[in-house]
Amino acid sequence: MTSADETTASGSAATGPTGLRARKKQRRYEAISETAIALFLEKGFEKVSVAEVAAAAEISKPTLFRYFASKEDLVLHRFADHEDEAARTVAARPTGRTALDALHDHFLDGLERHDPVTGLNDAEGVMAYHRLLYGTPSLVARLYGYQDRSEQALATALLTAHGGNPLEARLAAGQIVAVHRILAEANWHRIAAGDPVNEVHRDAITATDNAYTQLRSGLARYA
């Protein structure tokens, strides 16, 4: 049992040290991933070995694999925070707000912020990352695993929010995640082709609104 003085000294008996360790671990994840991405952008994904990444990050190869299960995950770490984003959006929606309304608003907000996950960002670093991602078949294949987990998390949130049965919720989640992916890819392809961001942004809002109109007509339970 921890005294009040001990709790104060450590910040929180329950969460202080543990929270610090978690933050340090997260920073290590990010540092290793960014080191790897820099190498991949410089030399090409296929031309950089895991051993080379480990050396650049100043860790051993076994240590690297304790953080990342595969070479592809070194790149896709940037998507880790987005895996359950749609599910969190549904769970955190205001009382009386439907799941589709909350997701629609969230995607539009992402466009407004030029969030890279929406594809509407022309920063050179973001563009280079997307070229690396979509130009590497093994990364695209690995990305589907992230999307699958996103769909599963969203299906659970939809089931909690609006009821129904697990298969119905899973089908709905698959459609919603696919819509977001297709909208983001369309935005990225246009920007990569040289279209002005402001022009793409305007069209992206219209495309998002139209996409959600279609979703609402087919997914009435969640609308």
What pLDDT is attached to residue 6?
36
Tell which CATH architecture fits domain 83-222: Orthogonal Bundle (1.10)
Q: What is the pLDDT of residue 12?
A: 41
pLDDT above 60 for 5: no
Tens of pLDDT along 6-55?
Answer: 333 334 444 466 788 889 999 999 999 999 999 999 999 999 999 999 99
Q: What is the pLDDT of residues 154-207, one digit of tens each?
A: 999 999 999 999 999 999 999 999 999 999 999 999 999 999 999 999 999 999
What would the pLDDT profile of 60-91 be if each residue is shown by its tens digit? 999 999 999 999 999 999 888 799 999 999 99
Q: What is the pLDDT of residue 91?
A: 98
Cβ–Cβ under 8 Å, residues 223 and 216: yes
Cβ atoms 5, 47 nearer than 8 A: no
Report whether 33 contacts 77 (CB < 8 A).
yes
Percent helix, strand, coil in the chain, to 5, is 80, 0, 20
* pLDDT at position 16: 61
In CATH terms, is domain 13-71 a member of 3.40.50.150? no
Q: pLDDT value at position 19?
A: 86
Q: Is 152 helix (H, G, I), strand (E, B) or coil?
A: helix
In a 10 Å sphere around its CB, with 0-12 CB exposed, 13-18 middle and 19+ buried, how is residue 177 labelled? buried
Mean pLDDT calculated for residue range 119-147: 94
Could you tell me the pLDDT band of residue 2, with boundaries at 50, 70 and 90? very low
What rounded mean pLDDT belongs to the chain? 92
What is the mean predicted confidence (pLDDT) over 136-147? 92
Enumerate the domain spans of the chain: 13-71, 83-222
Distance separating alpha carbons of residues 34 and 101, to the nearest angstrom: 35
pTM of the model: 0.86
